[in-house]
Each structure stands twice: as structure tokens, then as C-alpha cells.
Amino acid sequence: MSEGDSRLGFDTRAIHVGQTPDPRTGAVIPPIYATSTFAQDGVGGLREGGYEYSRTRNPTRTALEECLASLEGGRHALAFPSGMAASDVALRTMLRPGDHVVIPDDAYGGTFRLVDKVLKLWGIEHTPVHQTDLAAVRAAIRPNTKVIWCETPTNPLLAISDLAGLAQIAAEAGARLVVDNTFATPYLQSPLGLGADVVLHSTTKYLGGHSDVVGGALITSDDDLNEQFAFLRNASGSVPGPFDAWLTLRGVKTLAVRMERHSDNAERIVEALAGHPRVERVYYPGLREHPGHEVAAKQMRRFGGMVSFTVAGGEQAALDVTARTKLFILAESLGGVESLIEHPHKMTHASVAGSELEVPDNLVRLSVGIEDGTDLVQDLLQALA
């Protein structure tokens, strides 16, 4: 990110950084460079941009990475074919057999599966901790702790962690703080500015924003760490295709306006659910009674489009609600323009069943879209009736 870029507003950077009109044709939108290799002018004679093979670098992917780095306030960004691919490269770069990582006690099920079922076999130790409690995080640190892995808000219970506090603990321990910023997006929260070493995204979600592409990203200002990420990404071949990069970049252009509408609609839904006789508890950091509300208000622009709630009557009652909605689509994933509803216990978080991270079986998670807010509220009310 250049000094000039950093002075531009978020919306402007989302539309322009990495996306200057094509100098040869004047095309306003960056081309999709659907090529596997690039001609050289003699051995080693690479042309403008230094491109030689698309596994290593591709101009469409470069455009996306420059934009993401700018939006997160980092010097570097790397795009991946999924959020889990980005997570895998990040953890395998920063950890070695015998090392220890602190994870949230309600982490995303895919992250837990990677750590508990894959990296454990590689000799990596982990401790789940309620990361809203900084004292508990500090107590979980070991001499071999190399990474604190944080989600805030968490998936699916929307717990809020104090990023500046976690960054201080990580620095004292000689560890790195990695923040999964998927739920908040760079529009609502800037972890690098609060002391994080690495920001991770599933760009499948809000950054892509249209449920039509899968991807991931790592953003950092650490030159050496970025070089190591890039080496492992290239060595393992964990790269997105140019069309996926182009779709994600197209989605990023409208991130700011979409996040405002997601947040508006989520607040209306929370208001309708709070106090409803069939709703036991609403999880949303915008609620004043939410235990992380003050921290969220301090480090987030708004409170986002994700809402979870527990249904009176147990698991079957929650399943019934997910079956009755007409506008909320029963599906995994989140962050698209359309509203989604799911049952984490049996869907996205089935992999944590029986562990310390198990979620309530009467929990329902909403990804609130950008449809008419009144229609969404009425859809949920009739499903709860």
C-alpha cells in the first residue's frame, strides 16, 4: 500500500487500489489473465510485472492482493483457493512439531478440525480458551506457544476478544497473533492496527459477497513472514485461479455499502428476536447486554450481519425453525447478499461435537442478507410462530 493509497477512504480504495485501467486498451475492469504461463524475452527475460508461471504469480491475483492489503492496512496480501487453505499455510509456516497454539473455545469447526485432527498428527499441541478472558489466555501460554489464533466475533457464538490485549500477551510471549477477520471484514475492524501480526479471511464470505466463489487470504506487514507464506503457497500449489480472483475483486468493490445494509438488517432482526417468547437468548455484539459489547464498540465500526439465537424447546425446535423460513435459505456458509439460516450443531460445527468447543444443540445461526429488512423480520417471526 503506497502512502497515497493510505490517505484515501475505504470505499475509494476498495474500488481503485490494484485496479487502474488497463494501459494498453483502457479497460476499466482488470482483465482475467486466463493463462498458465508467460512468454519470456530470452531465458530469464521476464516482461512487465515479472510474471513467469501462474502458480507463482498471476496479474489478476496481484490486483486482488494489492486491494486486500490496502483495505486491511497491511504491506502484503496473499490470495488462496479457500479460507482453510490460507489457515493451513499460516499454521504450517509459523508452527513446528512440538509447538503450541492457543485457539478460541468456540472456534470455527473447520479451524478446529485442522488443528485437532491434522496438525496434532504433526506434533502440534493446542489449548482452547475463552479468549474474552485475557487472564485465561495469559494462563494458557506455555514456553512453546508460538501462535494465538483469534476469531472476533467468533463463529457461531459471536464472542468478542480484545485485540489490543491479545496482541500484548502475544508480544510478551514471543508468539504471533493471527486474527480471523472474516465475520467483521476490514470495513468493520482493523486487526493489524490493533497489534495483530496476521489477518486471515475466508474471502468466500463477505469479501466475495455473492456466494459464487470460494477463496481465502492472508494479510501482514511482516516482510519475512509474508515471504515464508509465499514460499509455502507456491511449493504446495495452494493458489486460486484468475477467474476466482476476479470474482472476489468484483465483490470487494461493494463491501462497504453491503456491510452497512447487513448491519442495518441484523439490528432490526435482533430487535424482533429479543424478548420473543420462543427465543431463549440472542447472540449479537450490538446488544448492550452482550458481554463483549463495550470492546466491540471500541474496536469495530458497526456490529455486522451475523446473528445467533437459541430456541426454546431444544434441538428439534431449532431444526423446525430452520425448516420453516421462506426467505432465509437453509445452507452453510455466510456473508452473501442473500440471507442464510443454519443449525451449527449438525452443520458447520458438527466436527466439534463431543469436544470442549461443542455448541448448543438448540442454536440457530443467521447470515443476514441485504434484502428488505421488513421481509426478513416477518420471515423469522412466522418461522418462530
pLDDT at 221: 98
pLDDT at 149: 98
CB 328 within 8 A of CB 375: no
pLDDT at 21: 94
Catalytic hit among 33, 51, 108, 284: 108
CB 61 within 8 A of CB 72: no
Residue 104: strand pairing partners: 129
Rounded CA-CA distance 84/30 in Å is: 26
Catalytic hit among 99, 105, 162, 180: 180
CB 176 within 8 A of CB 198: yes
Mean pLDDT by 10 residues, the chain (385 residues): 72 96 92 95 91 96 98 98 98 98 93 96 97 98 98 96 98 98 98 98 98 98 98 98 98 98 98 97 98 98 98 97 98 97 91 83 97 98 97
Residue 104: cis peptide before it, omega within 30 degrees of 0: no
Question: pTM of this prediction?
Answer: 0.95
Based on the residue annotation, tell me whether 379 is a catalytic residue of this protein.
Answer: no
Based on the residue annotation, tell me whether 133 is a catalytic residue of this protein.
Answer: no
pLDDT at 356: 78
Catalytic hit among 5, 11, 55, 346: 55
Based on the residue annotation, tell me whether 361 is a catalytic residue of this protein.
Answer: no
Contacts of 56 (CB under 8 A, 6+ apart): 234
pLDDT at 4: 56
User: What single-letter DSSP state applies at residue 162?
Assistant: -
Torsion of CA 276, 364, 335, 137, to 10 degrees: 100
Residue with cell 488462496: 80
pLDDT at 116: 95
Based on the residue annotation, tell me whether 55 is a catalytic residue of this protein.
Answer: yes
CB 300 within 8 A of CB 189: yes
Residue 57's Cβ-side half-sphere holds a number of Cα atoms within 13 Å equal to 16
pLDDT at 1: 43
pLDDT at 191: 98
Catalytic hit among 205, 233, 250, 301: 205
Rounded CA-CA distance 199/56 in Å is: 21
